[in-house]
Amino acid sequence: MAAGQLTVGRWVRDRGSVTPDRVAIDFLDEPTTYAELDDRSERLAAALLAAGLVRGDRVASLTGNRPEHVELLFACAKAGVMLVPLNHRLAPAELAYQLDDAEPAVLFTSAEHDGLAGESLAACSTSTPRRLVLERASLDELTADAGDARDAEVGDDDPLLLVYTSGTTGNPKGALLTHANCFWTNLSFDRTSDV
C-alpha cells in the first residue's frame, strides 16, 4: 500500500467523493453530509496552514461534543498537524499542565468552555497558544478565503492525536496516535460492532 493511504484526511476525502450525500453527523437534528464535512475540514485545514502551522504542530481543543470538533479533527488530519483534545471536566491547573506539556500553537474552545480556557491559560507557565472559539460562525469567518490543503504531505505514520492519560500514578502522559493507529482502530471497531 502506498504511503498516505491510511491517513484520516484521505478517508474523509474518499467518503466525500464516494458517498457525498450520506449523513456523516446528525447533531441536534441538523445533519452534515460527508461532502459538507470534507469541504469544511478542507477549508479549515487550509486556514490552519495559512496561519503558519506546519507539519507536526499541535492544535489543542477544549470543547464539548459538537460537529465543529469533528471538522477540526479532520482538518488537523489533512493539514498534518496533531489534535490535542482536552477534557473540559479538568480543573484549570490540570489543563495548564497539559497545555504546557503539549505546547499547542492554537487552542480552540467552545463558547461555553472559553472561560475555563482563559483560567487554564492564565495558570500556564510556558504555553501561550492563540485562542479561537470553535463555533460555526467563527469557523465560517476563519475559512472564508481558505483554499484547500491537498498539497500537505501527510504520512500513515505521522502523529494525529496526542491524548492524555488519566495520570493515576503521577502527571498525565501524552500518548501519540498515528493516522494508521486511528485508521485501523476505527476499521476494527466498524467490523466488530453494530454501531
C-alpha cell read off for 194: 453494530
Distance CA 134, CA 71 (A): 10
User: Which pTM does this prediction carry?
Assistant: 0.90
Residue range 169-184: average pLDDT?
89
C-alpha cell read off for 120: 487554564
Is residue 1 scored above 60 in pLDDT?
no
Q: Which CATH superfamily is domain 8-192 in?
A: ANL, N-terminal domain (3.40.50.12780)
pLDDT, tens only, 92-139: 999 999 999 999 999 999 999 999 999 999 999 987 788 887 766 677
Among 130, 128, 149, residue whose Cα is nearest residue 47: 149
77-87 core/surface letters (b: 16 or more CB in 10 A; e: else): bbbbbbbbbbe
Is residue 142 scored above 80 in pLDDT?
no
pLDDT, tens only, 50-103: 889 999 999 999 998 999 999 999 999 999 999 999 999 999 999 999 999 999
144 vs 16 pLDDT, higher one: 16
Phi, psi of 59 (to 5 degrees): -125, 115
Give residue 132's pLDDT: 80
Distance CA 176, CA 20 (A): 31
Q: Where are the domains of the chain?
A: 8-192
